[in-house]
Chain A
Amino acid sequence: MAGPDVSELQTFEHDVLVIGAGGAGLRAAIACAALGKNTGLVCKSLLGKAHTVMAEGGMAAAMGNVDSRDNWKVHFRDTMRGGKFLNNWRMAELHAKEAPERVRELEEWGAVFDRTKTGLISQRNFGGHRYPRLAHVGDRTGLELIRTLQDHGVHQGIHVHMECTILDLLKDGDRVVGALGYWRETGRFVLFKAKAVVLATGGAGKAWRVTSNSWEYSGDGLAMAYIAGAELMDLEFTQFHPTGMVWPPSVRGTLVTEGVRGDGGILKNKEGKRFMFGYIPERFAPETADSEEEANRWLKGDKSARRPPELLTRDVVARAINAEVKAGRGSEHGGVYLDIASRLPAELIKKKLPSMYHQFKELAEVDITTDPMEVGPTLHYFMGGIRVDADSQMTTVPGLFAAGECAAGLHGANRLGGNSLSDLIVFGKRAGDGACDWADKHDGGQIDNEQVLSIIRRATEILNRESGANPFVVQENLQEMMSHNVGIIRVKHELETAVEKLQELKKEAATAKAHATSQYNAGWHTALDLRNLLISAEAVTRAALLREESRGAHTREDFPGERDEWLKYNIFIKRGQDGEMVVEKRERAPGPEGLVAIAYSKIEDLESGAVGAEVK
């Protein structure tokens, strides 16, 4: 195939181009449209299908509708404690402060949340949140979020480009000025010129075999930003959700919402023992029930009782399940039992957890109103991602912004359930606003034709070469390798093995061959995504190797426990001058005094006003 003439490429010009149309991307695009900008929104799939639909439990916002003791400071404190104090202070503050207004705005746009008895937005309990805080719709809150933004967004004059995959960002000097992609339908290339670009592309869970993520989660944004010179950070923190399905094999990893535990579900091993009481970390002991009797009182609404240990943060619960299975106390198919059947009447289970009921009935032939579910950890979420400015969400590359899962900072070493959907709407809006502000101050730059041609060559070579590796096989090998060597419990020699194997896989991926034409060709798409998956996987592995402690979602068998020394650092990743991956730890700036006092306060002192009263 001869190189095409760049001037003949189909070209769109926007003030702001948003890449990714899940919750963050849609919210960013809506923000841009509200400021009168010509806004393009690119989605890899059809509109409304992004992975946000998989979010089940709810979105965290301290509205205090169910328990009036809740406020932003308690939410902020929970987020910092959940993130093991490695979060970006400013992002955790903005998130806790702005989430309630972002949630109310969704109601204005048509979202219909479950209600309290007095008709307000109801809020449910979730792991790590001190008070009932998650606005929700049964167990399909993500669908409600994405559909609300979609239905609102289509009336705002946003140009939606569906089933379009972006291959790389285009630069003019240091600045990002556009992107090059292809249409899935035809395989034709398309050029986007923009004054500012927002990445909202999610994580890279597809690099693991057991994951709750779909094919789209190939780390496109992480890799494109990295190639464009942006810094990544905190990549060692990959969240394993404690409860994924484990049987049958075809659905291994599919998410089982934390809402099951929020509504009273308990975890048992094969001996029938409720084992979480044996895994309560010291830091959380004063706020966690130490007997079944107390946990049950809490569930019934006794405000003097402490929370059940099943609602500890995800890192803690996932490790506990892993330990039970390793000790030989696991379920038939290598998980543990999650029991809601003995806790709630059948009708209430169907009402509160309808998708879970159907999911197990139809995919596992298990009736969760009579039998326990078998569950185990599944790779779910990237806390780390592209480094951004807390207020504007701009990356370290001018004109390039990032929001949602592909951005880093808010969640630190571990994300609380429910803080993701609120992250999307708070920082999606901020990224949109930030991008518009940039677009106001800058003209569109120059497109570098040579760069465009080299991206096209890289893509078409996959189809043109005579023979080469099967991209599906390379992807499967990567997934197996990462699940084996960079799993929930990590150790130096396995991480080193992973680094070596990644070099081999990169060579294989570079020779991947797709057959037939470029029109809607799954093999070609898989081959193209490999580069991004591999960059993301390598970043996780190298960061995990460097962090010699166990904190949050990052657990090193050879370095157990949190080390105070390591609380001082974040790990950054950048592309070196010769294309090599550079990993370094850098000292964190100290947090603002008032916020630090709140984060580390005793809850009684915070609520009495003895701590944090002066912080507005």
Chain B
Amino acid sequence: MATRTFRVWRGDKDGGEFKEYTVETQPGMVVLDGIHRIQAEHAGDLAVRWNCKAGKCGSCSMEINGKPRLSCMTRLNSLPEGTITVQPLKTFPLIKDLVTDVKWNYEQNKRIPPLKPRAREADGHHRMMQEDVDRVQEFRKCIECFLCQDVCHVLRDHHKHDQFVGPRFMIRLAQLEMHPLDTEDRIPKIRKEFGSGWCNITRCCTEVCPEHIGITDNGIIPMKERVVDRYYDPIAWFFKKVFGASNK
């Protein structure tokens, strides 16, 4: 029987260490299966979050061999031979073992003004064309795994949690701003309270998104552009006046 060794972070906010466990493997096994074998055979109290085990709920996020990933969608045979290192998301406070405190994300969501739809049409329907909602639907694929939040430098390294809502909520905002029925204006808040200026477009969030959402190019950059259009366009207008439109 084939086996695989996992190096798993064990500990809580007061400290901890990596511990090694070896379990038998089966064809097609994913990292989360390995963790479940460890729980059943070696460490019943090993803490891990998971639900759907099909990449749809975004619960089982962790850092596998240093990369933020969903453990239910990471097949063992996709990883290099040898020991697999598994540790919790770094950006959020540790609760225990592989589980972190992600409540901060839920607080950000509450701050975002919800959809304010225009009135329904006379026959009681809302009409929206598919091509007008394609982009919004792309953002709504988000499963809230918070891998993008984990990898965002502004949060991970610079700890600007009080100034930037992070990529997950930038696309939530983008999705509301691009919603054909919406009548709310969130641009001032996107600039000031939600911190769109902090993102410096390194696209790390886009790279780790398990739903392959174009977070940076399709969501954050258009929001930055809308902020620029609103707040800085008069200056462009002024420059055009002074220097003429010749250097277009």
Binding site for B on A (CB under 8 A): 45-51, 53-54, 104, 107-110, 112, 114-115, 118-120, 137-138, 140, 142-144, 147, 151-152, 154-155, 160, 162, 185, 214-216, 247-251, 254-255, 354-355, 358-359, 362-364, 470-473, 476, 514-517, 519-524, 526
Contacts and interface: CB of A to CB of B under 8 A. Distances in A.
Interface of B: 12, 26-30, 33, 39-40, 44-59, 73, 75, 95-97, 99, 101-103, 106, 109-110, 114-115, 117, 124-130, 133, 136-137, 140-144, 172, 176, 179, 181
A363 B75 contact: yes
Contact of A143 (B125, B136, B143): B143
Given A250-B28, A363-B30, A522-B46, A214 B95 contact: no
A471 B30 CA distance: 22
Contact of B47 (A160, A249, A522): A522
21 contacts: A49-B51, A49-B52, A49-B57, A50-B51, A54-B52, A54-B54, A107-B181, A109-B114, A115-B129, A119-B128, A155-B110, A214-B52, A214-B53, A248-B26, A250-B26, A250-B29, A254-B53, A519-B47, A520-B45, A520-B95, A526-B44
B28 A247 contact: yes
Contact of B54 (A154, A249, A251, A476): A251
Contacts of A519: 12, 47, 96
Contact of B44 (A48, A162, A358, A515): A515
B26 A521 contact: no
Given A254-B54, A362-B55, A523 B117 contact: no
Contacts of B97: 520
A215 B32 CA distance: 13
Contact of A521 (B44, B57, B128, B172): B44
A367 to B, nearest CB: 15
Contacts of A48: 144
A470 B40 CA distance: 8
B26 A143 contact: no
Contacts of A516: 44-45
Most chain B CB within 10 A, of A147, A154, A520, is at: A520
B51 A215 contact: yes
A522 B45 contact: yes
B29 A248 contact: yes
Given A354-B141, A472-B40, 7 more contacts: A49-B51, A51-B52, A147-B144, A519-B12, A522-B46, A522-B48, A523-B44
Contact of A46 (B49, B137, B176): B49
A115 B103 CA distance: 34
Given A109-B115, A214-B53, A118 B110 contact: no
B56 A151 contact: no
